[in-house]
């Protein structure tokens, strides 16, 4: 257990940050799930809107430090490929 005042403060900060990051990560997953559902439904217009929202949410998570930059880019790239494949079919 933390003994020094600085260590106790660090524990409090980490707990707060963890809570915020968990909420942000959950929000990103929600938008990704909505995109997957839109692709599964087969409606290109809805999927495009869902893609735009999911992309912006992912990049926001990157700027907040929840997701690594390359991870965010990779996920957006894969979503774009799914959307392109769906639009071509």
Q: Report whether 48 contacts 84 (CB < 8 A).
A: no
Q: Domains along the chain?
A: 5-88 (1.20.58.110)
pTM, entire model: 0.85
The reported pLDDT for the residue numbered 13 is 97
Tell me: the pLDDT tens digits for 22-58? 999 999 999 999 999 999 998 999 999 999 999 999 9
Distances (CA, A) of 78 to 2, 33, 69, 72, 73: 43, 14, 14, 10, 9
Tell me: the pLDDT tens digits for 54-77? 999 999 999 999 999 999 999 999
The reported pLDDT for the residue numbered 63 is 97
Distance CA 70, CA 62 (A): 9
């Amino acid at each position: 257990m933390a003994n020094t005042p600085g260590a106790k403060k660090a524990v409090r900060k980490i707990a707060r940050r963890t809570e915020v990051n968990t909420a942000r990560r959950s929000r990103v997953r929600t938008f990704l799930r909505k995109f997957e559902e839109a692709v599964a439904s087969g409606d290109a217009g809805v999927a495009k809107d869902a893609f735009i929202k999911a992309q912006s949410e992912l990049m926001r998570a990157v700027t907040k430090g929840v997701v690594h930059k390359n991870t965010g880019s990779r996920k957006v790239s894969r979503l774009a490929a799914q959307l392109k494949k769906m639009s071509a079919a």
